[in-house]
Structure 1
Amino acid sequence: MGRGKIEIKRIENTTNRQVTFSKRRAGIIKKAKELTVLCDAHVSLILFSSTHKFFEYCSPTTNTKKMIDRYQQVTGTNLWDTHYESMQKEFNKLKEKNERLRKSMRQRVGDDLDELNHSELCGLEQNLSEALKKIRLALDSKIKRQIDTYKKKIRSAESNRSKVFRDAQELNCTFEESEEDYESMLVMRNGNPQLFPIRVQPTHPNLHERGFGYHDLRLG
């Protein structure tokens, strides 16, 4: 029994559609290769899947550009001119849009206002007023954030200063408490007098009783 005739219509199931495309793509490329070899034909094949994937085959003795040029020569059409005209139209649209934007920017800074009527001037004034409000809100928000940052820095600096002041007071108190246990002595070093604190304990003998005077002490 032969295979049943398949109805040619779009396959709704995405997976089945992709599988069918893959199989038939391989088949049509195989046929194109056979035409090239068996009949010495020039074949160019371009395929795009529904997922926008690109596939092509071209006979080894030519390339796609030559085939398109040959097609234009035989049919008397110029595909590039049509494409160029389309690009030129798109370019002109973009050029006009760019000119309108430039004019709008000039009008926002007070230039080229003579071309506007009363209604357009009122609309421009309203737009500028709304833009000014947004700018002021953004500026106020930025200033507030900067002030908060500076306040944090000031609080941190004051905290550090207070800590340093407390540490200095503690050191000063410690020095004052132990200052009574020290006596100073004048020592000659390299011909220059220098004052050194000497801690004298009650159990230490008096240096004067041992016969040492301040003039007898020297640094080696």
Structure 2
Amino acid sequence: MGRGKIEIKRIENPSNRQVTYSKRRHGIFKKAEEISVLCDAKVSLVIITNNSKVHAYHSPTTSVEDILEHYHKISGKRLWDAKHENLSNEIERIKKENDNMQIELRHLKGEDIAALPYTELQQLEDALEHGISSVRDKEMEIYGKLQKNVRRLEEERKELTYLWHCQHKQEVMEGDMGEMEGGVCINPQDRDYRYQIPPFGLSMQPNFHDIFDVK
């Protein structure tokens, strides 16, 4: 009993759709590989999913670009419009500029300069001297900014020190005024001596035994 025909339509269940895609993709890639090996054919296969994932296969001896270029020559049709061709030319131009810049950078490092003519060596020397001068100018500019910042920080430090001394002096004066309001005026220089005076009502009697050494 043979299998019934399966209606070809979109699978609504996402899980079933993903499983079917994975199985069918492996099957298609396997068939593409077989026809490439058995028939010595150039095969290129590109699959793009609905969530923009790309899966591709091409014959081991070629590439997708080579196959497309071969298709252009055989069919006489161009898959790329003028805009894409201009972009391709721009990419090639940028690649060449990048290669030239890499060569120039090696020359500036002193590499691969043995074969350079005298005029190019002179131009290279002028470029290096100009670069050194620019670096020195920038160095002096940064040094000047650092010096300015140091001076500003030193002025801020002096100002903060002055404010701290003023505040400390004010606190000392307020303490002295409080003592004067209590009926006692004390010289700040005698402050430590004041705490050596015994409390009122107590007197220090001399020790006659120590004076006359009475035994």
Q: Which has the higher contact order (CA 8 A, sep 6+)?
A: 1
Given the two structures, how large is their TM-score scaled by the length of structure 2? 0.45
In terms of fraction of residues, the more strand-rich structure is 1
Given the two structures, how large is their TM-score scaled by the length of structure 1? 0.44
In terms of fraction of residues, the more helix-rich structure is 2
